[in-house]
């Protein structure tokens, strides 16, 4: 089974240690119109290459999945340049963000079939005229209590594209809610649930929530490690070990949802203060680094009794199995 990276296809068995949800560059729609929101591309490339090289050399990471929604500043040529210079596989995604913060009106007013056609084009032929193909689909919902009409259309389109191309789906949920609804929608549209990573589950401290999502066969994202304004890492570690001990170790995916550069302001004012604090913590104009998982969170799991090899299986084996799909995903 091959997966598309921004520099070409890679056998899933060669993905190696993988972070399944990180970002290089994020720009909320409209930031490009803000004269104060400048972006120094050469400086960004240098910093991103430095960070990814450090991840590869010091922590053995070989693959960096950037599920940046297509309207959030996704720049696949920029990703390809960083990938080549840092010698790191980078996987980009097709798919839109939430209706409140993304989903441009043109596509919000399109049909499910038109959106699916766009996704399939990006997966099979490439993004725009770049020839760079997406390797997975991003889906996002935040509508409470249920997803919005526009989000539901994107989930339906993603389901069509998943079944047409066989790639995996990476989702965004908000505040550790909405995962079961996403699973319901995928199930209704015929997507095998092991093809979906339900993202940001670590925003919830409800162990029954995690067990229920894993029990239905999806991958459970502990993928905001270090974003402590959403959840304390101690709680994430306790919940992860609980899920592991409950027999769902093969469904856990760890990552950080960090970014190297954010252009201008964050599109969500409620998150902005916390994000500024995180950037200050990093003590530079760039976003939080990518090594926190290894330097801080892995030791927390060791303290809680997981073995080194058990922890690294979550980063080495689980992403390979997730992207490979397989008949049952077991
Ligand atoms: Zn993200």
> What confidence tens digit (pLDDT) does each residue in 69-103 have?
999 999 999 999 999 999 999 999 999 999 999 99
* CA 242–ligand 1 middle distance (angstroms): 24
Give the tens place of pLDDT for each residue, 246-257.
Answer: 999 999 999 999
H helix runs in 87-206, sequence order: 105-108, 112-124, 149-165, 179-188
Cα(43) to ligand 1 centroid in Å equals 22
Q: What is the pLDDT of residue 327?
A: 65
Instruction: Tell me the CA–centroid distance for residue 66 and ligand 1, in Å.
Output: 8
How many CA atoms lie within 13 Å of 28's alpha carbon, on the beta-carbon side?
13
Residue with tokens 């038109």: 114
Under a CB-based contact definition with an 8 Å cutoff, are residues 166 and 157 in contact? no
How far away, in angstroms, is 241 Cα from ligand 1 center? 23
């409470």: which residue's tokens? 144
Kindly give the distance from the C-alpha atom of residue 124 to the centroid of ligand 1, in angstroms, as a whole number: 23
- The b/e string for 63-91 (b: 16+ C-beta within 10 A; e otherwise) is bbbbbbbbbbbbbbebbbbbbeebebbbb
Residue 269 C-beta-side C-alpha neighbours within 13 Å: 0
Which domains does the chain possess?
A: 2-324 (3.20.20.140)
What confidence tens digit (pLDDT) does each residue in 3-36 have? 999 999 999 999 999 999 999 999 999 999 999 9
**Distance from the Cα of residue 71 to its chain's centroid:** 15
pLDDT of residue 269: 63
| Tokens found for residue 330 | 């077991």
Q: How far is the CA of 330 from the centre of ligand 1 (A)?
A: 26
Quick one: tokens of 216?
């239905």
């Amino acid at each position: 089974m091959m997966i598309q990276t921004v520099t070409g296809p890679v056998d899933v068995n060669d993905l190696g240690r993988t972070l399944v949800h990180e970002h290089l560059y994020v720009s909320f729609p409209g930031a490009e119109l803000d004269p104060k929101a400048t972006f120094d591309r050469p400086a960004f490339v240098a910093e991103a290459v430095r960070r990814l090289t450090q991840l590869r050399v010091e922590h053995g990471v070989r693959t960096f999945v950037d599920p940046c929604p297509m309207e959030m500043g996704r720049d696949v040529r920029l990703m390809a340049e960083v990938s080549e210079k840092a010698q790191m596989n980078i996987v980009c995604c097709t798919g839109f963000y939430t209706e409140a913060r993304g989903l441009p009106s043109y596509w919000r007013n399109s049909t499910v079939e038109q959106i699916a056609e766009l996704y399939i084009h990006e997966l099979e032929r490439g993004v725009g005229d770049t020839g760079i193909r997406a390797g997975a689909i991003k889906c996002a919902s935040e509508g409470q209590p249920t997803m919005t009409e526009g989000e539901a259309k994107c989930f339906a389109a993603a389901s069509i594209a998943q079944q047409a191309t066989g790639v995996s789906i990476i989702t965004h949920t908000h505040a550790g809610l909405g995962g079961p609804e996403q699973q319901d929608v995928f199930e209704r549209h015929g997507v095998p649930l092991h093809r979906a990573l339900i993202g940001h589950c670590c925003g919830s401290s409800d162990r029954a929530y995690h067990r229920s999502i894993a029990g239905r066969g999806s991958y459970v994202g502990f993928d905001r490690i270090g974003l402590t304004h959403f959840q304390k890492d101690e709680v994430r570690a306790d919940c992860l070990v609980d899920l592991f001990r409950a027999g769902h170790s093969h469904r856990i995916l760890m990552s950080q949802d960090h970014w190297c550069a954010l252009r201008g302001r964050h599109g969500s004012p409620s998150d902005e203060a916390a994000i500024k604090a995180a950037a200050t913590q990093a003590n530079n104009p760039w976003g939080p680094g990518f090594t926190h998982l290894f330097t801080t969170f892995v030791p927390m799991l060791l303290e809680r009794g997981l073995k080194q090899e058990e922890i690294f299986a979550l980063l080495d084996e689980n992403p390979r199995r997730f992207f490979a799909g397989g008949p049952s995903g077991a």
